[in-house]
Structure 1
Amino acid sequence: MNSNFIRRWRQSNWVTILILGITVLIFLGETLTGGSQSPQVLVNWGAKYDPLVQIGQWWRLITPIFVHIGFMHIFVNGFTLYYIGGAVEQMIGHWRFALIYLLSGLSGNLMSFALGGAAVSAGASTALFGLFGVYIALGVIFDDSYYLRQTGRQFLMLAIFNLVFDLMASGIDIWGHIGGLIGGFLLISAFALPGQKFRKGVAWQASASIAFLAICAFLYWLGMVR
């Protein structure tokens, strides 16, 4: 029985569920402490606010992926996380998914910090765009797989559609979305999938790792000096 439980646990999307659960709890905390649309409440719960990042509160480049502004914001992002996140977790494994989700959110918030405005911002969309980047990269890496190649193209079109929508809508952080997308693409390019050798070679893997670190370092520097 214990072995069956462990096997089911390993095969489940427990990281996705854990992240979603934390996100919902934080949203309830926002609601109970003044409302999820109050800028001060959002800042209190970890939203990104550039002046605070610039004085040393670097964790605000990660915590915003768990903070949301209004019910529709968390509903749409939570729905996307549950379905797309669960599928990605099953495909690439638990620890890869956790790292890519968090680090894509980081790269997205870094690009927003460096190139966006100083307004309070929050939401999981930086990390979710990282998941789009995962699918796009897998379509490139496994170009002999019809399924992954077609899925990658579909997610590329979905990402483009969303970015075009960002340009036409107000209050949406397009730089955060672009940064998350790039981060997800580079991060999955740096990892081999479970049980498979890396398809593009060590040089591709090393280049993706170096590129991710270099981009993040440059964006952090740019955000601190601008």
Structure 2
Amino acid sequence: MNELRYKIKYNLVPTMTVVFMAINIIVFVVESFFFGDSESYFTAMKFGAYYYPKFEDGQWYRLFTSCFVHFGFEHLFSNMLGLFAMGMYVEKYFGKLKFTIFYILSGLGGSLMILFFDLNARGPQDYVLGAGASGSIFGLVGIFIVFALSEETKDEFPLPRVLFGIILMFIPSFMDKRISLKAHAGGFIVGLILGMIFMYIERIKREKRRRY
């Protein structure tokens, strides 16, 4: 049994995956049942959605809080499905702390990518209202690329299968203008970089164990 399969079978329940799912769902329930329509601009802004003029006013926290706000049940469901399907593998392989770092920094990476384009926008008409866990989810996608290219894990995640899954996930970004390709790309890049860094750390740990 290889290391990835062993960790997936015998490691504990992916606690942080469940915690982040719970946070997103709780925020959505409060949005929907206590503050009205979850797809409303005003509701999203109350709960910390990203919007450049607010960021410019000093509300930097929106880069983070926007990662837990969703526009409608379909938006929430698709993100939570992706989080559950991929998060459990990533958390069981890298552990709770590294998974938490992955999730938060990938989400911020998505927000910062939107911010970068807003800073270079032609005018207010180009600003977007950003919300959702998509940056974090696509950060996990980036880690799956690392899984597919690493000797230790590539048998469990063949590259063609991973690439096919990524294409399917990116297609809606091009077809639906409401979906932020920028957030997806930002999260993906951060997840890919962090995945390579942490996989390298895991490799060093394995080599040390073999020596001793």
Percentage of pairs with the same residue: 32
Distance in 2 (CA, whole Å) between partners of 1:133 and 1:190 is 12
- Output one character per residue of 1:111-142: Cα deviation in whole Å (capped at 9) or x when no partner: 112226422221111110000000102333x2
CA distance in 1, matches of 2:28, 2:200: 33
Over 6 Å off, 4+ runs: none
Q: Contact 2:112–2:186 (CA<8 Å) still a contact in 1?
A: yes
Flag the 1:146–1:107 CA change in 2: closer, same or farther, 3 A. Answer: closer
Q: Give 2:121's aligned residue.
A: none
Query: How far does residue 34 in structure 1 lie from its aligned partner after superposition?
Result: 1.9
Corresponding residue number in structure 2 for 1:163: 170
* Alignment check: 8 A CA contact 1:93 1:194 kept: no
Shift of 1:92: 1.3
- Paired with 1:164 and 1:77, the residues of 2 have a C-alpha distance of 15
Alpha-carbon distance change, 87 to 144 in structure 1, aligned in 2, over 3 angstroms: closer
Q: 2:35 aligns with which of 33, 36, 42?
A: 33
* Aligned-partner SS, 2:58: coil
Structure 1 unaligned regions, length at least 5: 1-9, 200-226
Is the deviation greater in 58-67 or in 100-109? 58-67
Partner of 2:56: 54
Give ranges in structure 2 of 5+ residues lacking alignment: 1-10, 119-125, 207-212
SS at structure 1 position matched to 2:140: helix
Is the 2:147–2:154 contact (alpha carbons within 8 Å) kept by the matching residues of 1? no
Q: Give the distance between the partners of 1:53 and 1:174, measured in 2 at CA.
A: 20
2:31 is the alignment partner of 1:24: no
Map of 1:224 onto structure 2 = none
Count of residue pairs the alignment pairs up: 188
The 5-angstrom pairing of residues 1-226 of structure 1 reads 11-31=12-32, 32-115=34-117, 117-140=126-149, 142-143=150-151, 145-148=153-156, 150=158, 152-192=159-199, 196-197=203-204
Deviation per residue, 1:43-66 (Å, 9 max, x gap): 110111111112221111111121
CA RMSD of superposed structures (Å): 2.2
> Does the Cα contact within 8 Å between 2:148 and 2:162 map onto a contact in 1?
no
Tell me the TM-score normalized by structure 2: 0.80
The answer to whether the 8 Å contact 2:107/2:139 transfers is: yes
What is the alpha-carbon distance in structure 1 between the residues aligned to residue 157 and residue 116 of structure 2? Answer: 33
